[in-house]
Amino acid sequence: MRSSADIIQAEATDKALTMPEPRFKMDDGWRVFHPNPSRPDFHVPPGSVDAHCHVFGPGNSFPYAPTRKYTPCDAPKEKLWQLRDHLGFARNVIVQASCHGTDNAALVDALESSEGMARGVCVLAPDVATEELEAMHRAGVRGVRFNFVKRLVDALPRDRLLALTEKIAPLGWHIVIYFEAHDLPELYGFFASLPTTVIVDHMGRPDVTRGTDAPEFDLFVRLLAENENIWTKVSCPDRLSQTGPPDYADVVPFGRHLVERFPDRVLWGTDWPHPNLKSHMPDDGKLVDFIPKIATTPKRQQQLLVDNPMRLYWPEEFER
């Protein structure tokens, strides 16, 4: 008679033999998201929104784009929902990542399964049809993202952005832009000319070794000060820090400065599953513990995590 262990092992072997071979192999050296994030010491306010996160694949169901610059690990919606509940958040804003290109199927699938508790930011092809835009809006998409990070894109998408701005205007969508601080001088005038709400990812990626009074960060603050339609995410200390985890202390002055100066135009997100990180894979619980260091009062925490994202992504509920 076979032992229980033998039976379990045989069943596992049979299951493995019947599982489809993965269609995509993640890049060598790719850092997979934290398998067991800690539970945060900081308790986020009820109704808090993780306003910047992603879903990847799974590649067998939602193939990665042939034009992608990287192949990630699978990070499906189910894992994102588990993380949301573990960290104490109520809602998500899922941002289309460049590995999926302009195929937003994985994003839309996650939104449709979220029971209204997620909104999305997509990436669009220039020739996108009005019918497709309307279908994505019904699913919960509320913005379109443009990547200006030169190492991640082949060309800066200025013309495409301007053309698509007219297409998304009837839907009331906003624009999300991703760039690096050293490129802001050449892009400043263009960003300032955009006619709709604009959200900048990750504080414009400042060089935190130079301090908050450095010309690059000062220019970014000026961009927000002179353009009331421009918001920013005070996210991703793990991408910016030189001192590293768990405190990311060198990023704190930058996030705190933006939260204090522009309290009604800041958002926060985990950036799960943290694509393309080279130095380390952050503990998402410790990232949540970063929040009270930059939003130092209950009022600022409520604005950052609840009021601002709800006003932008669920205005019909916020205005009740």
d(CA 234, CA 216): 16
Tokens of 142: 């509320």
Closest CA to 111 of 95, 123, 131: 95
Which H/E stretch holds residue 108?
Answer: helix 105-112
74 belongs to the catalytic site: no
Can you count the helices (H) and strands (E) in the chain? 13, 8
Instruction: Give the Å distances, CA to CA, from 170 to 102, 146, 174.
Output: 20, 19, 11
Whether 48 contacts 301, CB under 8 Å: no
Residue with token string 């499906």: 76
Q: Which entry of 50, 271, 284, 307 is annotated as an active-site residue?
A: 271
d(CA 119, CA 229): 20
The torsion angles phi and psi of 198, rounded to 5 degrees, stand at -125, 130
Residue with token string 């992608």: 68
Q: Which residues are catalytic?
A: 271
